[in-house]
């Protein structure tokens, strides 16, 4: 069996309807995993593409702006797909304003979605994974989606920077607690990826040029670039990787 073979595994991907989440879901499916696509918007296109690869795909409706649906998400996945081996915490939002004008509402909305829900969904999945490891010896894999702003400050996105810095720290903490219990917890920090969310930046001739000049690779990333990293971290090839934040940024941070 290939080190990267995910056959027989069930992967939960939040925010899988477009962009990076869709790229990750499709890459995991190509490697053999069945997918549970979780989000406010039904990931119908992603589901069709996953099923075209011969994998199962369960659509799970949940607003991760609160932690209310967290246990129900895990329960639905276990009932529909019979397991939960991989969790990818990709769903996230961003709000922009100068720090002197930033509102408590925008702070709470971002931190609740990007950090609080990430922890409590990881907790619910982790409980299952730890019990599964004890019962069957099967490892669990949790992959959080961090950011370049887990390393850098950014501007005009205080709650986003705080939440993604928190994701990096939480990744390390959970790895420290769960490594010996057979659960790998790591994160991916995407660089500039060509998605619907970055369409305005790509279309802005000046900003696009500035970004391209900073990236040693000389191009925007593709969601498939993040998908490849997710397959690695989800696979047995990464069984000894714990608490790591993997930058997939074309060399942005190295510049």
Give 143's DSSP letter. Answer: E
Q: 10: which strand partners?
A: 34
CA–CA dist 139, 132 (Å, integer): 8
- 160 noted as active-site residue: yes
Give 239's DSSP letter. Answer: T
CA–CA dist 146, 239 (Å, integer): 20
Q: Which two tokens stand for residue 177?
A: 């607690």
CA–CA dist 50, 11 (Å, integer): 12
Element holding 164 (H helix, E strand): helix 158-178
- Coil/strand/helix, residue 17: coil
Of the residues 119, 160, 178, 220, which is catalytic? 160
Give the E-state strand segments of 42-139 in sequence order. 57-61, 86-89
In degrees to the nearest 10, what's the CA dihedral of 106, 221, 121, 153? -40
Catalytic machinery residues: 160
């Amino acid at each position: 069996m290939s080190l990267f073979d995910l056959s027989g595994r069930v992967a939960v991907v939040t925010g899988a309807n477009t962009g990076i989440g869709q790229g990750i879901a499709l890459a995991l499916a190509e490697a053999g995993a069945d997918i549970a696509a979780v989000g406010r918007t039904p990931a119908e296109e992603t589901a069709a593409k996953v099923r075209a690869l011969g994998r199962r795909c369960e659509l799970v409706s949940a607003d991760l702006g609160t932690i209310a649906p967290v246990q129900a998400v895990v329960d639905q996945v276990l009932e529909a797909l019979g397991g939960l081996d991989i969790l990818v915490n990709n769903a996230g939002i961003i709000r922009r304003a100068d720090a002197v004008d930033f509102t408590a509402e925008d702070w709470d909305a971002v931190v609740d979605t990007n950090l609080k829900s990430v922890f409590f969904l990881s907790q619910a999945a982790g409980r299952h994974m730890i019990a599964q490891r004890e019962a069957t010896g099967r490892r669990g894999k949790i992959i959080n989606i961090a950011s370049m702003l887990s390393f850098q400050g950014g501007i005009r996105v205080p709650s986003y920077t705080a939440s993604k810095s928190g994701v990096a720290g939480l990744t390390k903490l959970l790895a420290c607690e769960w490594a010996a219990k057979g659960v790998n917890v790591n994160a991916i920090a995407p660089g500039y990826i060509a998605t619907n969310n970055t369409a305005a930046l790509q279309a802005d001739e000046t900003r696009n040029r500035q970004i391209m000049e900073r990236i040693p690779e000389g191009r925007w990333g593709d969601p498939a670039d993040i998908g490849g990293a997710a397959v690695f971290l989800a696979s047995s090839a990464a069984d000894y990787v714990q608490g790591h934040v993997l930058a997939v940024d074309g060399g942005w941070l190295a510049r």
